[in-house]
Amino acid sequence: MKMIHCGDIHLESPLSTNFDHATALKRRNELLVSFIKMVKYAADNRMSAILIAGDIFDTPDVSRETLAIVMACIMKNPEITFIYLPGNHEKDVLLRAFSEMPANLKVFSAEQKMFVVENVVVAHADRPEELPTLYPGDMNIVMYHGEMDDARIRAWAGRNINYMALGHYHSYSEGVIDPRGVYCYSGCLEGRGFDECGPKGFVVLDFENNTLNRYFVPSAVRTIHEVIIDVTGLGGIEKIDEEIEKRVDELSREDMLKIVLKGSYLAGDSINTGFLQQRYNSMFFAVRVDASGIRLDMPEKDYRFDKSLKGEFIRQVMVSHDLSEAQKQMVVDMGLRALAGERL
């Protein structure tokens, strides 16, 4: 018997802070496509249940179309039991959508804290002390939407839990609760912004002979790849570009790219991030260049006793109270290039 554990699908996310209007619309549809794909995967593999650990929707104001597609998906797959834990974003929107609840949709509430699928117990509590009693002879899953830290892990320990199906964090991660149980965040199905890089998908739980095996299935329509480039010692923009080109060579052009520049560069080598943005945007679905982590390499000894105009200029900028560190670096960089006769 197999189940899927997923969560944080965030259908109807606006996505407007990360993408332009057309791209955001496309990605919104892809979130829904990804959900349908997952349900089809469950149906094709004859799975018994899909556990949704919260945040299927991003908002309680879900459009009629999205709601209709999700409802149809549930009703067209009566052999799959959908066990749904409402998250912090969506309230009871799915519950209110149905005038009559389909038999294969089970929703946790204050009154209903446990379901049984074949011989597997699926329970929920917001706090460990509110958990219904779980028996050592059963296979016990607990669904929970929220954070896990050391104190919480200790509080959930010793309650005969085999697996905690968690939602809230948007990347896959796992850990040990006690000698019997593990917890796992499935992460979301799709990266929704450049802070959600890496493989996204769902977890398959495989119960065989009363033991539980699990594996992560990457399933995103598009992945956001993070490429970190240390610019230290690379020299000019053409070398940085060359390095990026090498690193993205194998990536699918349908995917998204986050280029993170770090390290330091020498005065006069300032980095035209607009060029990198433009160039890779024309190659990938969407690109973000993050140059906030690079700094100008300007050791104090190089300018402190420098009697030239260059030294005086740097000292003036560095003592300025009106400029942030980043602004100082930018002004020094521009100034030095101007002094070197470069056209800016």
> Which residues lie near Mn ion (CB under 5 A)?
8, 55
167/181 with CB nearer Mn ion: 167
Residue 97 Cβ vs Mn ion, minimum distance, rounded to whole Å: 20
Cα–Cα distances in angstroms (integers) from residue 217 to residues 40, 41, 184, 188, 199, in the given order: 14, 10, 13, 12, 9
Residue 55 Cβ vs Mn ion, minimum distance, rounded to whole Å: 4
171/277 with CB nearer Mn ion: 171
12/55 with CB nearer Mn ion: 55
Please state, in angstroms and rounded to a whole number, the distance separating the CA atoms of residues 265 and 176. Answer: 43
Torsion of CA 267, 268, 270, 272, to 10 degrees: 180
Beta strands in the chain (DSSP E): 2-6, 49-52, 81-84, 105-107, 114-117, 120-124, 139-145, 163-167, 173-176, 182-185, 201-208, 211-218, 224-230, 256-266, 286-297
Place of tokens 């829904």: 32
Residue 182 Cβ vs Mn ion, minimum distance, rounded to whole Å: 21
174/306 with CB nearer Mn ion: 174
End-to-end Cα separation, the chain, in angstroms = 66
* Closest residue by Cα to residue 297 from 332, 344, 324: 332
Residue 187 Cβ vs Mn ion, minimum distance, rounded to whole Å: 10
196/333 with CB nearer Mn ion: 196
Residue 286 Cβ vs Mn ion, minimum distance, rounded to whole Å: 21
- DSSP code for 146: S
8/269 with CB nearer Mn ion: 8
Residue 70 Cβ vs Mn ion, minimum distance, rounded to whole Å: 16
